[in-house]
Structure formats: structure tokens, C-alpha cells
Structure 1
Amino acid sequence: MSETPVNLDELRNRIDAIDTEILRLISERATCAQTVAQVKTAEDPHAVFYRPEREAQVLRRIMALNAGPLDSEEMARLFREIMSACLALEQPVKVAYLGPEGTFTQQAALKHFGESAKSLPMAAIDEVFREVEAGAANYGVVPVENSTEGVVNHTLDSFMDSSMKISGEVVLRIHHHLLVSSTTRQDKISRIYSHPQSFAQCRKWLDAHYPQAERVPVSSNAEAARLVKTEWHSAAIAGDMAAKLYGLDKIAEKIEDRPDNSTRFLIIGHESVPMSGDDKTSLVVAMRNQPGALHDLLEPFHRHQIDLTRLETRPSRTGAWNYVFFIDFKGHIDQPVVVAMLEEVRLRAAEVKVLGSYPQGVL
């Protein structure tokens, strides 16, 4: 073997020096964050410390400046945790999410707010809305659509009666695993627990590998993982967080039928979000029941060259066979072109409700 061209002791000393400098700079950043909190509080005792548009701008800047060898998303995740810890020094963020602990929604909440946020599990989507409305949580995280199974209707329906605003989004790649406990007899698995959406996302794999096993739907994948701990002949479909939380083993990984399986989650809060430079807006629009209503709704978007990213319909609460439209588009309500488009839509619609303008998901 050839001699090592670089002295390892010198490299380790250099790493130690770099670590010391990183530590100094992180501490300096944290001190600066504390000063920001003091200035904000002096100006306004009810100041808002978490600024979604500012965090999105910081993360985009980091990703643009990153020259490797770590990829840009990994680098942004590191900075997300630094920002999360610094924000906790200013004011800890309380985040309600669709529980129980170990769900993909909790994973999305931690991805968006970082590990320093205090996450509060709720039993249902409408409870997440109520927790934020009551002020018991600063923000809430709810699933809104899956790339395989489509929209989450409970979330859309909750927006119809709520005053909450959307302040952000996060897209999470969903990987499902088949999990068992240490006491499971793997050759005798006759029952599989999971959430109905997960069964739907893994249908082909289950048909091929466990066609005779009973599929038992439960309220969440975390609940499925909990049940498996007490049975010797069952398995659960769940993700990494649930596997770690309940100490389960993976006997098959990434069993979802589509490798690009993703779920989009929305962040809900009380405040409107200023422009970040790369934003989305969500609306609920009720149209009058007349011929050409959908065309009348969409024509201003086309003429103003505004990019629609989602269009869904839900039954209206006001009468049988009346519907409302949920619309996502690229842009912010403070942009002049969006203001002009919305003025036209309001003239044509029975009702328009802006759910929020917010930064497009960075991570």
C-alpha cells in the first residue's frame, strides 16, 4: 500500500479548529437572535417572532450559495435546525398536529419547524384548527393532499368554517415499511394494521406479498405500530418515526406502490404572511349556479397568466348540488397582477375567501 499522502493528525486538528469556529458562530447567531427578541418586545409586547417569509428567504439563500459537497437540501436542513434552536431562545413555538405521536404529520411539523418546536398531538383535523384558534398553539399542521390518493377532504371542509390563515406548506416524501415486533412470528402474519390511506398507497405490494392477510384499518399508522407491540401474528404499515417510537423492526422497506409517493401539508396560523419572492395563494370560491360558471371563474387566471397549481371542488354547505372551488395558484395577494385578477373573480363569484398567501415549500 502507498503511504498516506495527508497527515491524519493534521486533518483532525483542522477539523477541531473548524468545529470551534462553527461553535463560536452559532453562539454569536443565537446571541443576535436574543437581541432581536428584545428589540421586538420593546416595540410591541405582542410581537410575532416566527416569520415564515424570512425563514424561506434564508433557506433559499443558503441553498443558492451552497457549493457542496453536502447537497443543498441537506445543508438547508442543518440551517433549519439552527434557526429552530435560535427561535426557541426568542419564543418557543407550539405546533398542533394530527396525532398521535409518530405520525407523518408530526414528521412534517418537525421538518418545517425543526426539532426545537414543541409539538402537540391532536386526535382529529378539526381539533388542530380549534387548538390554534383558541391560542393554545401558535401554528397547526394538517395534511391536504397525497400524490397517490388525492385530497384530504376533512382539511378542505375545516377551512370553510375557520378563520385560520395558511402560513406555509411542506411536502414530505412518504415511505411505508412493514413493521413487526420482536415477538412476531413472521411466517404466521395473518393481520396487518394501518391507516386506510396507507393501505391504498401499498395495495399492489400487499396483494403480491400478503394476499390472505386481514387488513385492519385504524386511525393512524402510529396507532397501528402500537397495536403490533401486543400481538404475535400481526404487522403494521408505518414510517420511520413510528418504527423508532415503538421499537419495531422493518421486514420490508419502501413498500408504497409509487416511488414518488408524497403528501403535502399546510401550516395554519393567525397572521398574514408578507411576500417572500416565491409564493403561493389559496382561495375558496363559491360560484353562482349558472351555465359557464367554471369558465367564468378560470378565465381571469388565464388572461392574467397566473399559474394554477390545484383546483378541487367540494359540496357547499348552503344547499344541495351547490359546490365551492378550492384553488391554489403561484403568486401573492399583494402583487398588482394578483390584485387585478382577484377583483375580476369577486365580480363573477358569489363569495371569495382568501385562505392565505405563503412561501412555497423550500424543503
Structure 2
Amino acid sequence: MSEQSANPQTTTQNPEETNAAATEQSPLTALREQIDALDIQIHNMINDRAKLAQDVAIYKKQTVSDADAKSHKNPIFYRPEREAQVLKAVMERNTGPIADDKMARLFREIMSVCLDLEAPQRIAFLGPIGTFTHAATLKHFGKAADTMPLATITDVFREVEAGTAAYGVVPVENSSEGVVNHTLDGFLSSTLKIIGEVELPIHQNFLVAEHTKVDSLSRIYSHQQSLAQCRHWLDVNFPNIERVAVSSNGEAARRLKNEWHSAAIAGDVAAVEYDLHKLYENIEDNPSNTTRFLIIGHEAVAPSGQDKTSIVVSAHDKAGALIEILKPLSEHGVSMTSIETRPERPNKWAYVFFIDMDGHIDDANVTAAIEAIRPMVKDVRILGSYPKAVL
């Protein structure tokens, strides 16, 4: 018996098999090498962009006016209209195979990192961590932003007014549940402006922790609005389990850390932040449910090309006041997108109207319409002109 045949694990590979394996791997190897080469180019270009962002920051600091310098006023680094224009351009020139919105999200994160290099921006939002407002904050400012969760909408207004936070994010309207009155009321006692908006599709998930005993569930936590938005699904799937309303979906997710018999209803951000498992996804009764959030800050925003203007009007107490207010909008070709009514405190039976319209205050027809309204009412205040939500 030969030495080769005596050792069954010693084999001689057929040269033809070796060549076939090499031929089979070579196209994949070539593709990977192309990807590696492109990765190097992308890496270098992102750093080149970041260096230009730093140059922009240096220029802004060097050209700050003497008056602003004396008042210790910092230059403006975050420009909502510029970012909206860049993201819209990304989607317009995109040719795939990556979807337009996903490509824009990639650029959103690059811009977020570059802005952080220019000047870190602290963003206050209605917390705690894991809420849909947190998700809206990350969607609008990117994950490089320095976020600051706060307990109430009033706290968000206060911290931005004080300068502790550069900007704030607050919910204003849900397509199923309606307007958020606390946010509208915040503008009645604040001089802050609306500088942007975010629209966030609301997808609810049924979350459990690693230690949860699913067969023994006895309690489901969530915010009262989320429980309402998932009522039918819960009635079908968990009709006999107690539903407990808490202050936020983030708080609902947090409670699972110390409870083995509970579940929570919350969004994707809460699942990530609290390391929870999505037992069921997208359980909301209305799949088109969307919440609109406002970005609040101090400065006015230049036109982006696709803008909204928000005003608050204090009307005289007389018949036909609202019809009289709306007439100039129609006469000047301004499209109203929404109107909400709130009590004008402390006056009894007096009301103010929050009106959103298409266009920027710098547009001639928008300015003309607002100026035509002024003589008819007690007061008109422009809350802001800002880019329409892009993503």
C-alpha cells in the first residue's frame, strides 16, 4: 500500500478543479476590490466636505458683525433653508438603485456630522428618550446632534428661550388625534419662532424585554394616544390584558426593565434605546397615521423655495370675524393649509387663530395678504416662515 493511499486525509487536488474554483471566485473578488476602491474615494470626499464645513465656520466667526460681537451673539451655523435645499437636490438628482428618501437620509447624517464639526448644536425635545418626538429630532437634525430630553413642552420653550438649547422640537398635530394644544399655547407667551417642521409616520410596535414571560403577560404600558391608536389590534390580540396609560412611550419602554410580566407599545427608537424586542410590528389601526412636529428657535429663516408661513391672529369679538380674516388670503392667491382656534387668555370668550399658509413672508402675495388682515384685527404676529418638511 502506498503512503498516499494509507492516509485517507491526504489528497491530490485536480488542477482543473483548482482553476474552476479560482475562476468562480475571481468575479466576486473583482467586485469587492471595486467596492473597496469606491469606499476609499467616498471616505476621502466625506472628509473633504467636513473640512469645507470647518472653513465655513471659520468664515462665519471672522465675519460676525461688531454689534453682534459686543452683545456676545454667536453667528448662525444651522441654516434650515440651506439644508432643505441640499436634501431636495439630493432626491432630485438621485437615479437609484437607492430610493430617494433613503439617499437623502444618508446625506442627512453626513450634514449632521459636519454641522457638529462647525459648532455643536444642543436640541431640546419633549422627552424622555425613546418618544416619537425623540425620533423626530433625530430625523431632522441627525444622530450627531446633542439632544436634551425635557419633561414638558413648556420646558422646551423655556430652555430655548434661555439659550440653554439652540433649538427645540415639539409635537403640534397628529393626523388621527388632532392638534397639540400645549404647543399652540406655548407660542402665546413666547417670542420664539418656528424655523422648521418634521412629519413622522407613526408606527407602533409591541415590545417586550429579554426576560419577559410572554405567556404570562398581565399589563401593557403606553401613552394614552398610542393605546387609542392601537385599540382594535389590542381588542383582537390581547383583549383581557390591562392597558396602563403612562406619560410617554419612552416611559412605557423604560418600565419593562424591571418587570417580567409587562409589555409596551412604542416606536423604533424606544426599542433601540431600551434594548427591547419587537414581538409585533406596525400594530397601529391606521397605517397612514402621521404626527407633525415644529422646530423652534430665535432667528428668521430665508426662503428655501418651498416654504410655509405661520401666523397667530387675535380677532375682534364680532360676527363674521373669521370670514373677514380669511378673505385677503383668497384675494391674494395664498393657500391656507390649516387653521386652529385657542382661547385668548385671560380674556373671557376671546379667541386667537393659528393659521398656516403656503409661501414665505418674503413672497409679495403673502406679505400683501397679511398686511391686509392687520387693520381688521387686534393683532397679527408672524410665528415664522420655514421650509416644508423634506423627508
Interval containing the TM-score (normalised by the shorter chain) = over 0.9
Counterpart CA distance in 2 for 1:273 and 1:227 is 40
Q: Matches of 1:112 and 1:66 in 2, distance apart?
A: 20
Mapped pair 1:182 → 2:210: yes
Question: Equivalent residue for 1:321?
Answer: 349
**1:38-53 equivalence runs, <5 A:** 38-44=58-64, 46-53=74-81
Please tell me whether residue 229 in structure 1 is matched to residue 249 in structure 2: no
Structure 2 equivalent of residue 152 of structure 1: 180
Match of residue 55 from structure 2:
35
> Counterparts of 1:48-59 in structure 2 under 5 Å?
48-59=76-87
CA distance in 2 between counterparts of 1:88 and 1:190 reads 45
Q: Take 1:12 and 1:233, find their aligned partners in 2: how far apart are those partners?
A: 48
Written as runs of structure 1 = structure 2, the 5 A alignment for 1:295-306 is: 295-306=323-334
Cα 1:185/1:346, change in 2 over 3 Å: same
- Structure 2 residue aligned with 1:19: 39
**d(CA) in 1 for partners of 2:103, 2:195:** 23
Q: CA deviation at 1:307?
A: 1.2
SS in structure 1 of the partner of residue 42 of structure 2: helix
How far apart are the structure 2 equivalents of 1:241 and 1:110? 9
Question: Aligned to 1:229, what secondary structure does the other structure show?
Answer: helix
Aligned match of 1:289: 317
Mapping of residues 161-240 of structure 1, within 5 Å: 161-240=189-268
1:244 matches 2:264 = no
Whole-angstrom CA distance in 2 between matches of 1:17 and 1:11: 10
Q: Tell me which amino acid in the other structure corresponds to 1:265.
A: F
Displacement after TM superposition at 1:188 (Å): 2.5
Cα distance in 2, alignment partners of residues 130 and 39 from structure 1: 31
Cα RMSD of the aligned pairs, angstroms, is 1.5
Cα drift, residue 5 of structure 1:
11
Q: In the alignment, residue 229 of structure 1 is paired with which amino acid? A: K
Deviations 1:55-113 (A, max 9, x none): 11111111111111101111111111111111111101110001111111111111111
Question: Do 2:333 and 2:365's aligned partners in 1 also have CA atoms closer than 8 Å?
Answer: no
Alignment pair present for 1:331 and 2:351: no
Deviation at 1:232, TM superposition (A): 2.3
Amino acid at match of 2:75: A
Unaligned runs of 5+ in 1: none
- TM-score, normalised with respect to structure 2: 0.90
One-letter amino acid of the structure 2 residue matched with residue 25 of structure 1: M
- What letter is aligned with 2:48? E
Unaligned runs of 5+ residues in structure 2 are 1-22
1:4 positional shift: 6.4
Structure 1 counterpart SS, 2:378: strand
For residues 311 and 212 of structure 1, the distance between their equivalents in structure 2, rounded to whole angstroms, comes to 40
Runs of 4+ in 1 over 6 A off after TM superposition: 3-6
Percent of aligned pairs sharing the same letter: 57
CA distance in 2, matches of 1:343, 1:147: 31
Tell me which residue corresponds to 2:9. none
For residues 280-321 of structure 1, give each alpha carbon's deviation from its aligned partner in whole angstroms, at most 9, with x where no partner exists. Answer: 011111111111111101111111121111111111114222
The structure number with the bigger radius of gyration is: 2
**What corresponds to 2:387 in structure 1?**
359
> Which residue identity is paired with 1:30?
A
